Amino acid sequence: MVTPADHWIATPRGRLFARSWSPSGGLPGNGPAVVLLHDSLGSVALWRDFPERLARALGLSVVAYDRLGFGRSDPYPGRLQPGFMRDETASGILPLCGQLGLGSLVPFGHSVGGAMAVGVAAQLPERCVAVVTEAAQAFVEERTLDGIREAEAGFAGPGQMERLARYHGDKARWVLDAWTGTWLAPAFAGWSLDEDLAGVACPVLALHGERDEYGTARHPQRIAALARGPSRTVLLEGCGHVPHRERPGDVLRAVAGFLLPFPAAAAGRP
């Protein structure tokens, strides 16, 4: 049985909302925990039933949390800073681990959360059993910027901001502006994940949709090529930017096939 539980995580800048799914019940302290890092408009709620299905497939605890400024977490104090992806390890992951008693980790990030997952693996090598990226960006590609511009224009349509507010409340405008303002800023044009990838020694699974509207297959290929540990790339045919929603079965099979052969991960199974 997979047991969900809600948690509030105290940080110096505000509280974070988290939810865990534990096959054994209680806090997710036994064995490696898969920690889900959401995308630029995401939240715990927007993972829908995927975390529970992942916990069942792996027999491991899964934890998802709303980054500061998103979902049910407290508002972000000010503007999102250019180094926010790397900063998430200290501002989100370490408080989460400390207060939930998490030991070894499998950071699993969607889109910009994938870059954060790589940063976690680079900064906490002693904790990370493996890392999974899904539709992650590894550099600033014109296709990414075109997709963001198109999405930004779409949010001017009737009801679009209200839809975003269902998940983020009165933080919705900040969430949208943080995404578009960061990525479309000229100062961000030279960003890449290269430095963090060079520090990743654990195994890496890079999942990507063939029709991802925010990035080509060059992103997972670069992630796999530059990480120092063993890496695997899975390109999902006919899939867009949200594989865990569009092709959940394929994602679950790929992740289970990747993680469960590792002794450190398999040890967490009941």
Give residue 3's pLDDT. 84
pLDDT at 248: 98
* Residue 153 located in a structural domain: no
Query: Is there a domain that residue 28 lies in?
Result: yes
Domain contains 175: no
Chain segment 155-212, per-residue pLDDT in tens: 999 999 999 999 999 999 999 999 999 999 999 999 999 999 999 999 999 999 999 9
Phi, psi of 196 (to 5 degrees): -65, -40
- What kind and span of H or E run contains 98? helix 94-100
| 152: in domain | no
The answer to whether residues 29 and 96 touch, using CB atoms and an 8 Å cutoff, is no
- Number of structural domains (the chain) is 1
Residue 249 lies in a domain: yes
The whole-number pLDDT of residue 34 equals 97
CATH number at residue 34: 3.40.50.1820
Give a yes or no: residue 221 inside a domain.
yes
Mean pLDDT on 229-241: 97
Torsion angle of alpha carbons 215, 191, 228, 200, nearest 10°? -100
What value does the mean pLDDT take over residues 71-84? 93
Confirm whether 179 is domain-assigned.
no
The per-residue pLDDT for range 28-59, each reduced to its tens digit, is: 545 799 999 999 999 999 999 999 999 999 98
Mean pLDDT calculated for residue range 140-162: 96
Burial of 25 (0-12, 13-18, 19+ CB in 10 A): exposed
Q: Write out the residue range of the structural domain in which residue 61 sits.
A: 3-138+192-259
pLDDT for residue 139: 98
pLDDT tens-place string over residues 7-31: 999 999 999 999 999 986 555 545 7
For residue 23, being part of any structural domain is answered with yes
Asked if pLDDT for residue 270 goes beyond 70, the answer is no
